[in-house]
Structure 1
Amino acid sequence: MLRRYIPSWWGFLGAPTPLVTSQRELKTLDVREYRPLGTPIEFRFYQRYANHPNRQSGVQFLTHYNTHQRFRVNKDFIDYMNWGREQGQARLPHRHQRVAFDFDDVLQPTRAERTDNAWFRDQDPTQDGHADLSTDFDPNRKVFSMPEHWNKMFSTRRPGEGDIVHGILPSNNLLGAVVSQSDTHGSGYFGVETRGPEEGEVPGVNAPFRGEFDRKMMQAMSRPMNKDHTLTCNNGRFSNAIYINDPKRNQALSTGLAKRLNVELDRATNGVYSKLTVLEAAQSGMTDYFCGGLDVEKLGLDVSMAAISRERSKEAAAAGDQKEAQLLLGDATLYEDRADRMVREHGALIHRISTAARPLMTLVNGKCRGTGCGVALAAKYCGLKDISEFIVDGPNIGLTTYGGVTRLLARPETSHKYPGLAEFVLLTGTSLFAGDVLRLGWTDLFTSLPDMNYHIKEWFNNTEHMHNDAVAWQLGQLLETCFKMRDAHSSAMERCAITSLRAQWIEDAFADQASVEDILKTLGEIEKLPLTDPHNKADRSSATPFTIGSVSEGIEKLQRANLRYTLDPWDVTAPEEEVAVCQAAEIFTSYVLERRGKRDMVVNTRRQQLQRWKEQREREYHEYKNMKNAPHARHVYARLEGCENTLVEFDFVFDPQTEARKVADEYEKLSATVSALQTKVLEALGMPAERGIELGWYLPTLDTCPVHTDEELMELLHADPGIQSPEADLKYPPIYFTVKRSSLYFSEWAYAVKHQLLLQSPSALKGNLELLKEVRGDGSEEAVKSLSDTIAIEYKHLVRAMRRPDFYNVGQYLDKSAEQWEEVKQQRENSLNHSLRPTRPVPNFEEVFERNVTIAGHTFPLRPRWSPRTVEEVTAQEVEKSLLPLDFTRERLIPFDPAVYCSKGDRIDGMLDDIGGYEVVPQLGEVKADGTPSVAPLQDRAHVPLVNFYEMARHPWEDTPSSYRANGYTESSMAYFKQQYKEAEKALYDEGDRGAYNYWPSKSAVDGTTEPSERKLLKERYLDEMKRKEGEVEGWARDLRAKAMDGTLDYKTEIATQEEKIYDDHYYRWFIQPGQNPNPSGLLFGRKAAGGRSEEDADLDAMLTNLISEASSAAVVEEEGPTDIVEDIPAEATATDGDAEQE
């Protein structure tokens, strides 16, 4: 032990000598002993005031500082206030995706306008708006913790002793009246930024929140499944949730995404513990799509680049540059292959979904388009929601329909319920909603419960004690509870596009039509019907919603845009007076300091000037009121909403007082002028006066808002600036209205449908109709093609349509918005012409659209430049050519088989790795100038067998793959088993060959056998015969029947022989994959369950046992003699017999 050494000269330096008496003892005690009252507060409770992040815990530290609740773990931050019991780390999440301790945390609302609440109220009348929408919520305002918790961060003194004024921020603390002084600063001291996002749109903040809310954090806490994070998953113990996560492109599936989704769905639905796999869309507030189908932008780019490359290849070959021509031809082939691969991957994905090994559910939480409809409807379980919508389009962009929906439309069930619906949907591209799909029978699952994927995960997580035999019960109970909608009802369940009257219209126009020309001819005859015709019935119409909710909001918007015209008194100028130069003394003397009671007041001496000002204001106000109540003449423009493009104009005098006197009803007086204006509009449009319409004010800002009362009408009349064209010579200022129809007549519907058909691609229209005929066959149920064959036929029509100029020159650009066309215009102005290589084509608006076109009496301000332009110009030879099979030598295309493509995709991915990978050899395949190869070709001495090992493992006569390990039997053993079982069953229960099986006598017959003769007969005819026949039955059948009666039948019975097991392909699979366990799940098949027999079975067995024992004893007595036969003899008869013997 080291001791301190004190030198001898220490005392001569004048330093004080160390104390070794009581003072040192006191000092030691004071340091080592815990004395609460003698220690400062920050030392007594040092855990509270430490600056180390690990010590800062508690609600009092709810601040925006970086040190709050964050510490580093493996170069990443863990934030405990954004941490739940889920998997993963929620670092900087979206505010709709934040976690605060558990799934039931209350999240902040979403900022929305009043119109959004009205829309939700229309969807579900049981709710008053939406619970998560708020009109006054400020998402940028930072709210800190309550002031009573500010004992650490906001005090300049000791942390626990700062005086706090509770009036700075709102608080419920009762100490607010006691505290008078504070060193706490206000919210401005922290410099919080409350301006909101300045770059880009944030859903729910400065942009509408589309799609579903992620209340239970299922999407936010999902983990990515690919490097682009366009596919994520959130798996439970026995369930899988897979999300399509590409909201910026409306969930469109690229080639890579479709292939990855195919692989992940195959992996999830083949998992041993996968009881249910759910496919849904992660919308994140940016989209309301479930699946957008084919990526039309990428598909169009590849096809157009292939066409450009082939055209330039021909030009290079004509110029004599063969090398450049070959390069361009190779580029064209690569582009075509890439486009073809995308189409094939989508078809393979739909086939994979339809043939999933284990239960797969698609929760359709948005719109489906094209192949997205097939992805949603091909699953075994398709769960619909309020916002489900199916867009079966194609001809609108120059393509034919693809995705397998043609099979559903071609079924006879669809034609029986709604004749002509298949042709109507495939030609017009009309959307189908949840109500239509439920009525068509494509699925019967519908739910309005939010966060359904979370409830599915919890359902299977909380029933993990159930073994796999109960999967069917679990799934059935889930569907019965959450998807049948017996107790709860949603109005969106009735949201449908095909009403009963519309179905009659569709039948009249589209059913039993041979060609597109006949359909257009029928629609042309219907649209000429007058509105007064008795056959021209009216159906309710859902008009386009107004962009602004009320007139007051529209006037506010005009005010912000400096477009409002007003004569309000508070906006007029001050009364005119002479401007006189006055001295400062005069201004000072105009104000006098007077004493009134105990107060000193400053009094203005310019009372006359104030009086003139008040009189001027009163005159202006009276003039304003008189002008507001006076009649006003306006030149009214009214445009009918719809494709008719009807505009009427007339002069109208707005006089509320005169119009109100004509009406007796007090309620109608409020809208008398509006009613008069509606009557005038209907008269100008040539419509019946009793027709229901709704007027909307058309603002100069290109917005519309409804007009309901005379008060609103007069307000907008004085606020509208009355902008007019300089060429128009009008007597009165103009006012603009839009007219919305609340009902739609049969003739108007026919006009709109024909207008839509004339906008579509004529070639695609005819191709779609021929596609439907080819899939439907002769109309019988047996003739309808299967899903795989339907996809193959749709592929044949689609690949031919997408190589036509209609698609790659016109159709691919039709979905662009006005803003995107502005960007394209700028891009065309700034782009350079490249001569060496074809670059990405930039569309020209005038080459895509043609203006002011009139076809069959319909006028189009803009119409796509289809080639050919009309349906009549499409020749019969082109239609017949589309029905021929694909020819590789002529079209460079081969037929598509989804099943084969899926099976190849399972194996090709790993084949390169199995052979040792690949090596990149530069200049391989190139030729020198003298014709010799630049690199010598590889000499391959490998021997490749001609027969697949899997085929060798099968029986040579068996072409159907069957597996003992997968099914418990093979095909041949199952056939033999069924034959033997039928023979045994007939020998046991149908000995008389009557055709009806009598398995056992009835209970009444058994109970009625009381006489010995009947028992003997029962033994001879039934029991002995049954025993003899049972002895003749093979042992396996007898044991099988005994197990079936006991309820101990195995889950999978092995009835295949050892030879069949040896020649089983799935059995051999484990031997050619070394290191793989033949039973990876660890499940033991053939587990014996507890025999649960009912009391009735036990009573019946006991009764039969007693009968057999009694019958056997009776047989023994019969052999020994008749004296032992016991009979019921009366006592008198017995005594008489005895007396006779004695005599």
Structure 2
Amino acid sequence: MLRRRVLPESHRYASWPLIYETSQHGIKTLDVREYRPLATPIEFRFYQRYANHPNRQSGIQFLTHYNTHQRFRVNKDYIDYMHWGKEQGQARLPHRHQRVAFDFDDQLHPTRTLDNEGDSYAWCAEQDPTLGPHPDLDASFDPNRRVFSHPEHWNKMFSKRRPGEGRIDLRVLPSQSLLGPLMEQSDTQGAAYFRYDNRGHSNGRVPGLNTPFFGEFDRKMMQAMSRPLNADRTITGNDGRFSKTIMINEPKTHQALSGKTASELSVEIDMATNAVHSKLTVLEAAQSGLTNYYCGGLNFEMLGFDLHMAEVLREKARAILNGAASVSSTSVMVTTTSVPTKAQEREVGQLLRDALRYEDRVDDAIRQHASLIWRVYTAPRPLMALTNGKCRGTGCGVSLYSKYCALKDASEFIFDGPNLGITPYGGLTRLLARPETSLKYPGLAEFIMLTGTSIFAGDALRLGWTDLFTTLPDMSYHIKDWFDTTEHMHNDAVAWQLGHLLETCFKMKEAHSSAMERVAITPVRARWIEDSFADQPSVNHIINTLSEIERLPITAKQNTCDQTRCTPYTLTSVEAGISKLENHRLRYTHSPWDITPPEDEVSLQHASEIFSAYVLERRGTFNVVVHRDTEKLAAWNRQRQEEYHAYRSLRAAPHPRHVYARLEGCEGKLVSFDFVFSLQENQKDQRSGNKEGEGLQQTACLDALKRQVLTSFGMPDGRDIELGWYLPTLDTCPIHNDVEIMQLLHADPGIEDPKAQLKYPPIYFIVKRNSLYFSEWAYAVKHQLLLQSPFALRAAYEMLLEVRGDGSAERVMPLAESLATEFKYISRLLRRPDFYRVGVHTDKSAEAWEEIREERQRNLHKTHQPTRPLPDFEDVFERNVEIDGHRFLLRPRWSPRTLQEVLDADVMRLHTSLAYQDEGIAPLHVPTQCAKGNRISDMVEDAGGLEVVPGLGELDAKGTPVVPPLQSNAHVPQNVSFYEMARHPWEDAASSWRRDGFTEGSLANYEAQYRAAERAVYDEEGHGGHNYWPSREASEGVTSEEKDAALLGERLFKPLEEALSGVEPWARNLRRSASDGKLGYKTEIATPEEKIYDDEYYRWFIQPGHHPNPTGLTNVHKGSSTHQGSDAAEFERIWRHVVSGVDGRNAADGAETAAEDGEEEGDTQMNEKNPVVPNDDEEGV
């Protein structure tokens, strides 16, 4: 089906950094050019530079602005060593922070932290809590800085031997001499003189440099060295020999997948999990520092644009028809018939076809996402979803329905929908509707479906959705390396390889403590959710229950308390806030040390003026620098002392202020009162030497302010709160002690409303709660529910009830039916104006609305005659709304507006099945869509078109078909072997292990083993079910040693004995004698050549871990060779003749010697038969 893709203006003119738009994202390999291509030491190649003779310390080779400064001729080409590799963007000597290979979006590693951030490593701990301070993060590192290497900076006395290397810092040595600082004085011009620009990117934001680096680090270059798998490069892959890694690469849209990308990803997963050598496929996200999402699910912005365009086109067609009718009825000059003209008919037909194409694109995107979830769920070979970020919507299903769902600290699941005016979509409804979820956390399913609250890795582990969790970084690299290094394993050992990998890297061990997992549902919150959401018949009853709870007083017994985390401050300290006020010229005062210059300013430009103004004197053992003019020096000292005493008295004086304190949260509580900030008590404690109050004196004024704030809010005095300074720049920063309070009191400009007649200057604070009460939680949850679409809330609740059934495990819909039900609901709610006119625009940021407002002002025709839908802020939101005691400054314009206005008939209509003839939406059958979705359109065209037959496949009351089925006229031949027809002519060889990785028998054996292992894990009682919960005996019982020994004997020793009994006796005896070291070497008949060169002989002596020929002998001595020459044989004959002549003269001696040898040989044989045990005396001797 041909579709015209119309991008929205926001996508077309998106203000991305210039580095993303201009760079051609080609595949770059890991390539750092070698600085010494000839392998000659640089001292010998450029001997003029490294000469120690004074006459050779300067010369033409140091004038770097000459064209011939350092060029070397190689193969008729000049190599410029100073600018080596600069045209490729590579560093001459790369810094350890600088990347040498890039992925498709990332430009640099996060090498520099933000300024004035003490705890800038906190966001690193989100990915890897075991890391601590990151080794590659440095606040002072500037990747854009280039130091100009000039001969005046190459001072041989104070630098290393090579230019470009670091200078020796003389300050590290304890010295009283001023010679070092003076010798470092140089009149050389700065970097601006040489026109070197060290500024970074000014036209965009680069992760890790001027914006935070989101997501996971790519330390092992898995993303950087990946290859694109589709034309848009939204899917990349990095394959090992026996494993594959697929990465979702849509960081600019937070990994939200279009229908085309979801279809391509489904095909890639299908190819990877059907590959012969693919033992494990890993699906993760390439975040590139731009996003911390794993998969963002549906791209709701594109869906809203398509549906809004379809409505605009239909309105245009309707206007044309109505205009023709009105003109025909009012005009006398034209005919009185209301039939449109041919041109109008053609235009209306074109508009309706375009509208249908937009709606088809939305329908196809939803179906492709369901098909992707089903593809992940039915992958034939192991598929691991390495969830290294947030999942939203269908991304939750992609992660949780894979065979192995591996969670990390950054894993987060967002299953929302009513906040956009639709129902949740992504397959998670089935997991929430299971009885296991209701038994573990009653009411949690309703809570998540209605509020869209995020759940984290700890919650998913406790709910039993997965049992794999790891904190190791670069897990995809380790998986690839594991399967590459165990490549010698047969395919039968895949289960062992996977088990060993999961046991080593993903098992919850001692190091993986529960404190390391992020949890949204604490035990106290679980009780709150059960009291509010469990066993409620409707959404209205839930709202009423929350209304009763929010009215509980804080002192009530039922109003329990739970710990909560404060939202982060925008600035890290009061000093950072004061510096920001200075930058914006909003600071009220400066300290006297900043604003009062000396009476007589001294400006010194050179070392000679320094020596003329100051003199070096020795006072005792120290050298000090004093001014020559003692009277002027004494006047300066008197002035400084006066300023110091005035400053001390100013700090000790009380500071009355009018305090404004706002409670953070949706309550909107604001209190104001007069308060006197005083440090006099602290000064008294310091003077009296009160050591007990040393720990408290720093926060006495702050504690008094906190008590006054709690009293004004009507809260208990002992409640744990934090106070933050609210700056005029709309920033917040924490306040820790009284010294910081005095600093901000002196710096705050005290901006006030002119209408407020205040006695004292105002000061503004934000109050953050470290603990949350049940009533406050109920208020916040109800506030969130009232902020969402009422119709979508009712629809989501009914959808959950439909998927759950009667609550039993057998009645919960399987995944295919659950996805079909979710598709039925969301396809209807997407076509309501609540979604594409209001809901899709509710999560736009203030910057996006500002761009839209400027575009509407700049292009007036887009306001009056829009070519594309451009939202209006006032049409999306309504101001100052109050519903059920909750006041909203801004609330989306939902229709219907409240829960009471939603009609039950409209909600019940969502239960009915989809009918194509009424709604134009065909029902979804996920297995068919996944198997044939990419071929259905071609199949329909091949069949000659599509005919909608009402009642096809239905039966009447008598049981006969309403529409008689077609009679097939296909002819099936009976004399053809279909096996021969199906087999390719070139695939006539039987399957082999070398080619396929398995044989037919080994594959069947592996599948049988896998099924047995699956039964042992999930069905130990043998009921034929698939139970996630182990029995009490399996989880708490202890296996006995007898069972282990019996199992070991059955599995190991018995097969060994059977195998040993099948060996022939002579081989068994030979092995036994060889292991005992009793081989009769004299009876060997093999020559040394046979021992060395004969593999058949030598294989008997090959043992694992021992070299068969450790000496490396490849030839033998001549004397022991059996193939000797004729000269050697003649020499042997002469030698024997001479020896026999000598023996003849000593025959008697030889006979005696032979007799003695015979006796010794007999004794030796007798000792071998009857060994004699030596006693202690013999051992001593």
**Whole-angstrom CA distance in 2 between matches of 1:595 and 1:234:** 69
Distance 1:269 1:128, change over 3 A: closer
Distance 1:876 1:367, change over 3 A: same
Determine the structure 1 residue equivalent to 2:1000: 1085
Determine the structure 1 residue equivalent to 2:6: none
Structure 1 residue 502, shift from structure 2 partner: 0.2
Determine the structure 1 residue equivalent to 2:983: 1070
Determine the structure 2 residue equivalent to 1:799: 827
Q: 1:893-932 residue pairs with structure 2 within 5 A?
A: 893-905=921-933, 907=935
1:116 aligns with 2:120: yes
**Whole-angstrom CA distance in 1 between matches of 2:1061 and 2:642:** 112
Structure 1 residue 322, shift from structure 2 partner: 3.2
Determine the structure 1 residue equivalent to 2:522: 499
1:644 aligns with 2:644: no
Distance 1:124 1:265, change over 3 A: closer
1:524 aligns with 2:528: no
2:84 equivalent among 65, 68, 76: 65
1:421 equivalent among 444, 467, 474: 444
Distance 1:914 1:219, change over 3 A: farther
Q: Secondary structure of 1:51's partner?
A: strand
Q: Secondary structure of 1:213's partner?
A: coil
**Whole-angstrom CA distance in 2 between matches of 1:607 and 1:206:** 51
Determine the structure 2 residue equivalent to 1:272: 276
Determine the structure 1 residue equivalent to 2:402: 379
Q: 1:893-1042 residue pairs with structure 2 within 5 A?
A: 893-905=921-933, 907=935
**Whole-angstrom CA distance in 1 between matches of 2:731 and 2:428:** 38
Cα shift readout 1:997-1040 (whole Å, capped 9, x = no counterpart): xxxxxxxxxxxxxxxxxxxxxxxxxxxxxxxxxxxxxxxxxxxx
Structure 1 residue 946, shift from structure 2 partner: 5.7
Structure 1 residue 256, shift from structure 2 partner: 1.1
**Whole-angstrom CA distance in 2 between matches of 1:376 and 1:1075:** 37
Q: Secondary structure of 2:558's partner?
A: coil
Determine the structure 1 residue equivalent to 2:1120: none
**Whole-angstrom CA distance in 2 between matches of 1:433 and 1:473:** 30
**Whole-angstrom CA distance in 1 between matches of 2:626 and 2:435:** 94
1:339 aligns with 2:362: yes
Determine the structure 1 residue equivalent to 2:1017: none
Structure 1 residue 114, shift from structure 2 partner: 2.7
Determine the structure 2 residue equivalent to 1:706: 734
Q: Secondary structure of 2:541's partner?
A: helix
**Whole-angstrom CA distance in 1 between matches of 2:361 and 2:486:** 46
Task: Give TM-score scaled by structure 2 length.
Answer: 0.68
2:468 equivalent among 419, 423, 445: 445
2:647 equivalent among 617, 624, 640: 624
1:350 equivalent among 364, 373, 380: 373
Structure 1 residue 859, shift from structure 2 partner: 0.2
- Aligned 8 A contact 1:111 1:137 in 2: no
**Whole-angstrom CA distance in 2 between matches of 1:593 and 1:97:** 49
State the AA in 1 paired with 2:983: W
Determine the structure 1 residue equivalent to 2:218: 214
**Whole-angstrom CA distance in 2 between matches of 1:841 and 1:345:** 25
State the AA in 1 paired with 2:492: D
**Whole-angstrom CA distance in 2 between matches of 1:909 and 1:57:** 60
Distance 1:570 1:597, change over 3 A: closer
- Aligned 8 A contact 2:420 2:789 in 1: yes
Determine the structure 2 residue equivalent to 1:51: 72
1:740 aligns with 2:768: yes
Structure 1 residue 225, shift from structure 2 partner: 1.1
Cα shift readout 1:204-236 (whole Å, capped 9, x = no counterpart): 111111111101000001011112211110101
Distance 1:756 1:597, change over 3 A: closer
Q: 1:556-595 residue pairs with structure 2 within 5 A?
A: 556-573=579-596
Distance 1:945 1:1074, change over 3 A: farther
Q: Secondary structure of 2:996's partner?
A: coil
- Aligned 8 A contact 1:1070 1:1077 in 2: no
Bigger relative contact order, structure 1 or 2 (CA pairs below 8 A, ≥6 apart): 2
1:369 aligns with 2:392: yes
- Aligned 8 A contact 1:634 1:652 in 2: yes
State the AA in 1 paired with 2:292: D
Structure 1 residue 329, shift from structure 2 partner: 1.5
Cα shift readout 1:29-69 (whole Å, capped 9, x = no counterpart): xxxxxxxxxx9989xxxxx98735779999xx87543479x
What is the percentage of aligned positions where both structures have the same residue?
A: 53
**Whole-angstrom CA distance in 1 between matches of 2:127 and 2:736:** 22
**Whole-angstrom CA distance in 2 between matches of 1:466 and 1:913:** 48
Distance 1:669 1:883, change over 3 A: same
Determine the structure 1 residue equivalent to 2:134: 130
Structure 1 residue 458, shift from structure 2 partner: 0.4
1:228 aligns with 2:224: no
Distance 1:252 1:597, change over 3 A: closer
RMSD of Structure 2 on Structure 1 (CA): 4.7
Q: Secondary structure of 2:924's partner?
A: coil
Cα shift readout 1:555-587 (whole Å, capped 9, x = no counterpart): 11111111112252124456999xxxxxxxxxx
State the AA in 2 paired with 1:516: V
**Whole-angstrom CA distance in 1 between matches of 2:406 and 2:364:** 29
Determine the structure 2 residue equivalent to 1:958: none
Cα shift readout 1:678-709 (whole Å, capped 9, x = no counterpart): 00000000001111111001111111111111
- Aligned 8 A contact 1:231 1:245 in 2: yes
State the AA in 1 paired with 2:551: K
- Aligned 8 A contact 2:128 2:471 in 1: no
Determine the structure 1 residue equivalent to 2:296: 292
Structure 2 unaligned segments of length 5 or more: list them: 1-44, 49-68, 171-178, 325-339, 601-611, 619-624, 946-965, 1006-1048, 1063-1181
- Aligned 8 A contact 1:123 1:492 in 2: no
Structure 1 residue 297, shift from structure 2 partner: 1.0
Determine the structure 2 residue equivalent to 1:728: 756
**Whole-angstrom CA distance in 1 between matches of 2:548 and 2:1002:** 72
**Whole-angstrom CA distance in 2 between matches of 1:816 and 1:1096:** 70
Q: Secondary structure of 2:933's partner?
A: helix
**Whole-angstrom CA distance in 2 between matches of 1:495 and 1:147:** 56
Distance 1:139 1:910, change over 3 A: farther
Q: Secondary structure of 2:701's partner?
A: helix
Structure 1 residue 1069, shift from structure 2 partner: 3.8
State the AA in 2 paired with 1:193: D
Q: Secondary structure of 2:662's partner?
A: strand
Distance 1:309 1:690, change over 3 A: same
**Whole-angstrom CA distance in 2 between matches of 1:66 and 1:247:** 30
**Whole-angstrom CA distance in 2 between matches of 1:614 and 1:835:** 69
Cα shift readout 1:507-537 (whole Å, capped 9, x = no counterpart): 0000001111000000000000000001101
Structure 1 residue 656, shift from structure 2 partner: 2.0
Determine the structure 1 residue equivalent to 2:422: 399
Structure 1 residue 623, shift from structure 2 partner: 2.0
- Aligned 8 A contact 2:246 2:284 in 1: yes
Distance 1:683 1:382, change over 3 A: same
**Whole-angstrom CA distance in 2 between matches of 1:241 and 1:285:** 19
- Aligned 8 A contact 1:97 1:217 in 2: no
State the AA in 1 paired with 2:768: K
Cα shift readout 1:1055-1077 (whole Å, capped 9, x = no counterpart): xxxx9x9667xx85435x98798
Q: 1:31-42 residue pairs with structure 2 within 5 A?
A: none
1:678 aligns with 2:593: no
Determine the structure 1 residue equivalent to 2:911: 883
Structure 1 residue 605, shift from structure 2 partner: 8.2
Q: Secondary structure of 1:532's partner?
A: coil
1:314 aligns with 2:227: no
| 465-474 or 517-526, which deviates more | 465-474
1:205 aligns with 2:209: yes
**Whole-angstrom CA distance in 2 between matches of 1:122 and 1:1086:** 47
**Whole-angstrom CA distance in 1 between matches of 2:499 and 2:826:** 39
1:483 aligns with 2:506: yes
2:166 equivalent among 170, 173, 179: 170
**Whole-angstrom CA distance in 2 between matches of 1:1077 and 1:908:** 34
